[in-house]
């Protein structure tokens, strides 16, 4: 499988952890949208498109997000803790709707997406807030496709981010 196109849209608010969105085309004939580029504690990482996990209202069987306190359909109060291991990070609240199933493919995705992201940032003149203007001038000639290699993202696709 070949990643034939990556389109990146930078996030408007650069103070948030969400730095951008992207759309990836595979083999020129399959598109995955809503991939997110997130600034994590260990650098940038890529989050695959995800959806909120839902369960059903005991009264009317309407679908509700696990954090919902009242049913969206009938308004009945819902039990507070509806999953056994609802962690503080909220990772069980979301599930990826499309994702690589091995680490080789995951790193190919991450590399292609982060390269496109850095290229887009350079194109619009947006630079990392940690580096000074002088540093950016110095780094520019050697930075083609290599910036993200200096800070290998360590988080995986698995964590769901809203
Ligand atoms: Zn209901």
In a domain, 114, yes or no: yes
> Rg for the chain (alpha carbons), in Å?
19
- Answer yes or no: do 106 and 43 share one domain: yes
CA 51 to centroid of ligand 1, rounded, Å? 20
Sign of CA dihedral 94, 96, 101, 102: negative
Chunked into runs of 10 residues, the chain (162 residues) has average pLDDT values of: 96 86 97 95 93 90 90 91 56 84 95 96 74 43 44 49 48
N- to C-terminal Cα distance for the chain?
A: 28
State the residue range of the domain holding 77: 51-93
Is 45 in the same domain as 57?
A: no
89, 159 Cβ separation under 8 angstroms: yes
Q: Looking at the structure, do residues 40 and 55 belong to the same domain, yes or no? A: no
- Let me know the angle formed at the C-alpha of 65 by 69 and 39, rounded to the nearest 5 degrees: 115
| Model pTM score | 0.64
- The secondary structure of residue 17, as a DSSP letter, is S
Query: Distance, CA 64 to ligand 1 centroid (Å)?
Result: 8
Number of domains in the chain: 2
Q: What pLDDT is recorded for position 84?
A: 56
How many angstroms does the Cα of residue 71 sit away from the middle of ligand 1? Answer: 5
Would you state the pLDDT for residue 132?
42
Residue 59 CA, ligand 1 centroid: distance in Å? 5
Closest CA to 82 of 73, 72, 74, 70: 70
| Residue 159 lies inside a defined structural domain of this protein | no
Does 122 reside within a domain?
yes
Scanning the structure block, which residue is given the tokens 């990146």? Answer: 8
Q: In the prediction, which pLDDT does 135 show?
A: 41
Asked whether residue 45 falls in the same domain as residue 64, the answer is no
The answer to whether residues 74 and 10 belong to one domain is: no
Q: Does some domain include residue 140?
A: no
Looking at the structure, do residues 117 and 45 belong to the same domain, yes or no?
Answer: yes
Residue 29: give its domain's CATH number: 3.30.1120.40
Q: Report CA(159)–ligand 1 centroid distance (Å).
A: 29
- Same domain for 56 and 85, yes or no, is yes
Can you list the positions of beta strands (E) in the chain? 3-10, 18-26, 30-40, 43-47, 50-52, 54-56, 63-65, 94-96
Q: Are residues 43 and 60 in the same domain?
A: no
CB 92 within 8 A of CB 67: no
109 shares a domain with 120: yes
């Amino acid at each position: 499988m070949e990643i034939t196109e990556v389109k990146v849209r930078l996030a408007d608010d650069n103070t948030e952890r969400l730095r951008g969105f992207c759309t990836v085309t595979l083999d020129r004939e399959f598109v995955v949208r809503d991939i997110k580029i997130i600034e994590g504690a260990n650098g940038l990482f890529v989050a695959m498109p995800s959806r909120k996990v839902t369960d059903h209202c005991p009264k009317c069987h309407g679908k509700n997000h696990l954090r919902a306190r009242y049913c969206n359909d009938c308004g009945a109060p819902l039990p507070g803790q509806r999953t056994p291991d609802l962690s503080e990070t909220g990772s069980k609240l979301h599930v990826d709707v499309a994702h690589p199933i091995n680490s080789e493919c995951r790193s190919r995705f991450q590399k292609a997406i982060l390269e496109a992201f850095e290229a887009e940032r350079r194109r619009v003149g947006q630079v990392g807030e940690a580096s000074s203007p002088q540093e950016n001038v110095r780094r520019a000639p050697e930075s083609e496709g290599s910036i993200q290699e200096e800070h290998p993202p360590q988080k995986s696709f698995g964590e769901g981010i809203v």
